């Protein structure tokens, strides 16, 4: 078996900025530069945080193309190309490979709730395209979860499977995966990055990194250096803001935070709506406490 691609450290689940209903590529370009300057080690467009369910096919493809072009090889791009339709996931993944993405993020097929065998077959067929795969295990969004046994089987039998974004919210699942195989485990929950890495994880695909890339990178660096005292101190400092970024459905609060910082418009695709008024003052106060320049 050839050497698998290795993804570690701080990666960002990029928002997709909009302006007047269209993707705002000027703002997206600024966000990408902000991420790279802040030390982010991987860009993940068109995932949950990127509002992939409401991007049309042309937008989805163009956002990935744009991210690859703007990154220009400085950091890897892990393109969200999953779907509940295997045929659709194949089409999206072929395009991501063709435009130069380094890997793809494949969410569990949602709504139709396939069996473990069905999900294995889904991933195996996508793997034939030849683009490294990061599994995305998020049952709260999908209604179905990959078991640790299935993840280990995928890692053993499908060479293109290189990592799993673990977003079940369960440390037991992370521990079971780590005990079952050597797959790279990436935290998909900012509040659990430190705990997941403590039981075998190797980094995060972070929502928080959209607004505080340097802080998330610092946390991942502390963890990689096994400096758990500093990592715990930073984790606890960040924790209230992490909670604040999930008071409503992601990416509603993180888009509000980026808009407060003047980086994007506070615009989402329906049926998502902007952050409720009562949550704005505490979020602004927490951002200010981290030195974010909040606009009036």
Q: What is the CATH number of the domain that holds 54?
A: 3.20.20.70
The answer to whether residue 283 sits within a structural domain is no
Does pLDDT of 177 surpass 70?
A: yes
The answer to whether residue 234 sits within a structural domain is no
**Residue from 97, 136, 155, 218 carrying the catalytic annotation:** 136
What's the pLDDT tens digit per position in 101-126?
Answer: 999 999 999 999 999 999 999 999 99
Give the distance between the most distant pair of CA atoms in the chain: 56
The answer to whether residue 190 sits within a structural domain is yes
The answer to whether residue 278 sits within a structural domain is no
Domain of residue 41 covers 9-225
The answer to whether residue 1 sits within a structural domain is no
32-60 mean pLDDT: 98
153-166 mean pLDDT: 98
Q: Crossing angle of helices 213-224/25-37, nearest 10°?
A: 40
pLDDT-derived band at 2 (thresholds 50, 70, 90) equals low
Average pLDDT, the chain: 97
165 catalytically annotated: yes
Residues with Cβ within 8 Å of 131's Cβ and at least 6 positions away in sequence, in order, are 93, 96, 97, 101, 103, 104, 160
Q: What pLDDT shows up at residue 17? A: 98
What's the pLDDT tens digit per position in 265-282?
Answer: 999 999 999 999 999 999
186-207 mean pLDDT: 98
Q: Looking up tokens 């505490």, which residue turns up?
A: 282
The answer to whether residue 29 sits within a structural domain is yes
Residues with Cβ within 8 Å of 45's Cβ and at least 6 positions away in sequence, in order, are 14, 16, 63, 64, 67, 77, 79, 80
**Is the sign of the CA dihedral 99, 101, 103, 105 positive or negative?**
negative
Q: What pLDDT shows up at residue 256? A: 98
1-26 mean pLDDT: 93
The answer to whether residue 101 sits within a structural domain is yes
Pairwise pLDDT comparison (5 vs 2), residue with the higher score: 5
Distance set, CA 146 to CA 81, 85, 173 (Å): 17, 17, 10
- Give residue 250's Cα distance to chain centre: 11
Q: What pLDDT shows up at residue 1? A: 44
78-100 mean pLDDT: 98
The answer to whether residue 269 sits within a structural domain is no
Does pLDDT of 190 surpass 60?
A: yes
136 catalytically annotated: yes
Q: What pLDDT shows up at residue 3? A: 83
Does pLDDT of 157 surpass 80?
A: yes
Query: Structural domain tally of the chain?
Result: 1
Judge whether 142 and 108 are in contact, CB under 8 Å.
yes
31-54 mean pLDDT: 98
What's the pLDDT tens digit per position in 221-266?
Answer: 999 999 999 999 999 999 999 999 999 999 999 999 999 999 999 9
Share of the chain above pLDDT 90, in %: 98
**Residue from 97, 153, 165, 218 carrying the catalytic annotation:** 165
């Amino acid at each position: 078996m050839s050497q698998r691609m290795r993804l570690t450290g701080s990666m960002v689940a990029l928002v997709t900025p909009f302006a007047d209903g269209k993707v705002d590529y000027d703002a997206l370009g600024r966000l990408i530069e902000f991420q790279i300057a802040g030390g982010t080690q991987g860009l993940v467009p068109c995932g949950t945080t990127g509002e992939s369910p409401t991007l049309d096919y042309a937008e989805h493809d163009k956002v990935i193309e744009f991210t690859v072009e703007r990154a220009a090889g400085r950091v890897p791009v892990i393109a969200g190309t999953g779907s509940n339709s295997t045929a659709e996931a194949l089409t999206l993944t072929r395009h991501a490979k063709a435009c130069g993405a380094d890997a793809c993020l494949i969410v569990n097929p949602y709504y139709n709730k396939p069996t473990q065998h069905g999900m294995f077959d889904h991933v195996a067929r996508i793997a034939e395209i030849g683009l490294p795969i990061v599994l995305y295990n998020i049952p709260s969004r999908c209604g179905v979860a990959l078991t640790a046994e299935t993840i280990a089987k995928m890692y053993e039998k499908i060479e293109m499977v290189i990592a799993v974004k673990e977003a079940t919210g369960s440390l037991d699942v992370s521990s079971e995966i780590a005990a079952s195989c050597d797959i790279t485990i990436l935290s998909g929950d900012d509040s659990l990055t430190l705990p997941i890495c403590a039981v075998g994880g190797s980094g995060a695909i972070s929502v928080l990194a959209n607004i505080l890339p340097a802080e998330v990178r610092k946390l991942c660096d502390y963890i990689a250096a096994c400096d758990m005292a500093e990592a715990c101190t930073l984790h606890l400092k960040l924790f209230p803001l992490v909670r604040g970024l999930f008071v409503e459905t992601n990416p509603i609060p993180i888009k509000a935070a980026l808009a407060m910082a003047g980086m994007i418009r506070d615009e989402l695709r329906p049926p998502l709506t902007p952050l409720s008024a009562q949550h704005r003052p505490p979020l602004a106060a927490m951002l200010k406490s981290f030195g974010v320049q909040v606009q009036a």
